[in-house]
Amino acid sequence: MKHLLHSLEGRLAALPVPLAVELPAGRQLGAPNPAVTLRFRDRLALVALATGEIGRVGAAIVEGRVALEGGMRDLMAGAAGLLTRDPARDEHHGWWHRVLARARSMAAHTLAHDARHVQFHYDLSDAFYALWLDPRRVYSCAYFRSPDLSLAQAQEAKLDHICRKLRLAPGERFLDIGAGWGALLLWAAEHYGVDATGITLSRNQHQHVQQLIEARGLQGRVRVQLCDYRELQVVEPFDKIASVGMFEHVGRAQMERYFATVARLLRPGGLVLNHGITAGGVDNAQLGAGMGEFVEQYIFPGGELLHVSTVLHDMARAGLEMVDTENLRPHYARTLWAWSDGLEAQLPAARAVLAASAGDSDAEKILRAYRLYLAGSALGFERGWMALHQMLAAKPHGDTAAGPVAGAQSDYPFTRDYMYGAPSRPDLNAATACSTNSNPAPPPT
């Protein structure tokens, strides 16, 4: 233990922010005037810190075995310096580890398990999420097409970016897999004139979107269903499909089936955009240093990350041709910091909202977990431990003479000009012109 504490003292001295550690007996290590103080109440958590298992330290903070004093940004600046290895590199590459991981993934992603996993996270409290998300409650990576955009503006820019990539047109049948609180579904219907269908496993989100559809008089061409993507049956395939922030819940063992289902639901020549978190390392399904276990236990049970190369492989096996891939990793770092800062500014209100739904003791645990999760994820995207890819794919129809370009075999024009030129919507051309409160979501019920 003495050797571990000596090593810890050396790393504390080298941190970019002053950080102090109080031992269970009261002795203090580190900076005399710290920006962050961690007060340890048991030795196991202290050993975890000394060995770089910062995810286990996070769990100890959530459970009250370590008291935290200080801000999230300072804490994360210190946490990065306390790591002893790259968390994006899985040290277990043996074939038996891959077999075991696939078996666990298969068992974890049944229809019943996936429904429980989604509801565990997304049905926590609509009012809680409304405190730190944008007015449309877009719970995925924003798109800062201009550096001075606010979070709300960047989320609208992301919604439009997706619609533009898909080349949505009036009257097209559009499917949103994992529709969340309905932002993309409604944006596509109201601004691009599509006939839109959304699916979700979250009861709260389903109810919220249904209320928005009715409030805006969109019942004729917008609908939301409470169902699993594997159970969705349609008479006519969709022209365009989007899946945003959903395939992280699918699991490695189900990925081929997921893309095969997407291909089944998409008409020949149609486009699909898959937007989701990917692993920074080639082989790891979650972050190391205890961080993956932290997220699994407190935030996203059943969540798995795949490297973009694996995702594209499974996409190709389903007969989908990748035509464009964009990495928005730094955009997600900025998005998460905006969420983290928003939650930090609303801590008393967050405690009250969570206490009303979960009780005082559970509310404190949940709040500590989300504070660490949002800030820790921002750090992870900054450091490249995770990435965020938008993968646009086509389902070739086989007719080389049809389509916008000869040989395209799809609706994709094989040039990116339509994606990255000036937005077709004038209010997205400049930050000052963006509408941050157009069609805002109603207050949580």
Two structure tokens written together for 379: 């750090």
pLDDT at 91 over 70: no
Check pLDDT > 60 for residue 416.
Answer: yes
Cα-based distances in Å from 17 to 37, 223, 255 = 11, 50, 41
Kindly tell me if the per-residue pLDDT of 196 is higher than 50.
Answer: yes
Q: By the 8 A CB rule, do 93 and 73 touch?
A: no
List of domains in the chain: 2-82 (3.30.1050.10), 111-433 (3.40.50.150)
Q: How far apart are CA 408 and CA 400, in angstroms?
A: 6
Tell me the per-residue pLDDT of 269-298, one tens digit each, with 9 for 90 and over.
999 999 999 999 887 767 888 888 888 888
Instruction: Report d(CA 97, CA 437) in Å as an integer.
Output: 49
Q: Which pLDDT value is given to residue 114?
A: 56
Minimum mean pLDDT among 30-44, 202-216, 421-435: which range?
Answer: 421-435
Least confident of 64-73, 172-181, 197-206, 420-429: 420-429
More confident site: 337 or 4: 337
The predicted pLDDT at position 232 comes to 93
- Global pTM reads 0.88
Q: With a cut of 70, say whether residue 385 has pLDDT above it.
A: yes
Residue 372 CA to residue 393 CA, distance in Å, equals: 35
* Res. 84 pLDDT band, cuts 50 70 90: confident
Check the CA dihedral 360-362-363-368 and report its sign: positive
| Short-list 74, 76, 44, 73, CA closest to 60 | 44
Q: How does DSSP classify residue 444?
A: P
Q: What are the angstrom distances between the C-alpha of 52 and each of 55, 69, 305?
A: 9, 20, 22
Bridge-based pairing of strands 36-40 and 19-22 is: parallel
Residue 226 has pLDDT above 50, yes or no: yes
Q: Can you tell me the distance from the alpha carbon of 198 to that of 177, in angstroms, rounded to the nearest whole number?
A: 6
Of the candidates 308, 330, 327, the one whose C-alpha atom is nearest the C-alpha of residue 382 is 330
Condensed to tens digits (0 to 9), the pLDDT of residues 233-257 reads 999 999 999 999 998 888 888 899 9
Helix (H) or strand (E) holding 323, with range, is: strand 321-327
The one-letter amino acid code at 122 reads Y
Looking at residue 283, its pLDDT comes to 77
Q: What is the pLDDT of residue 286?
A: 75
The pLDDT of residue 331 is above 80: yes
Kindly give, in sequence order, each residue whose CB lies less than 8 Å from that of residue 83, ignoring residues fewer than 6 positions away. 52, 54, 289
For 117-134, what is the mean pLDDT?
77
Residue 75 has pLDDT above 50, yes or no: yes
User: What's the first-to-final CA gap in the chain, in angstroms?
Assistant: 52
36: alpha, beta or left? (left if phi > 0; alpha if psi -120 to 50): beta
Q: Is 21 exposed, middle or buried (0-12, 13-18, 19+ CB in 10 A)?
A: buried
CB atoms within 10 A of CB 6: 11
**Which residue matches tokens 């409160």?**
437
**Residues 304-327: tens digit of each pLDDT:** 889 999 999 999 999 999 999 999
Give residue 110's pLDDT band: very low, low, confident or very high (50, 70, 90).
Answer: low
- Mean local confidence (pLDDT), 336-345: 98
pLDDT for residue 118: 54
Lowest mean pLDDT among 111-115, 188-192, 227-231, 255-259: 111-115
Nearest to 301, CA basis, from 122, 65, 82: 122
Q: What is the mean pLDDT of the chain?
A: 87
Tell whether the model's pLDDT for residue 98 goes beyond 60.
no
User: Residue 44: what pLDDT?
Assistant: 92
Q: How many other CB atoms sit within 10 Å of the CB of residue 309? A: 10
| Residues 214, 216: Cα–Cα separation, whole Å | 5
Give CA–CA dist 144/134, Å, rounded. 14
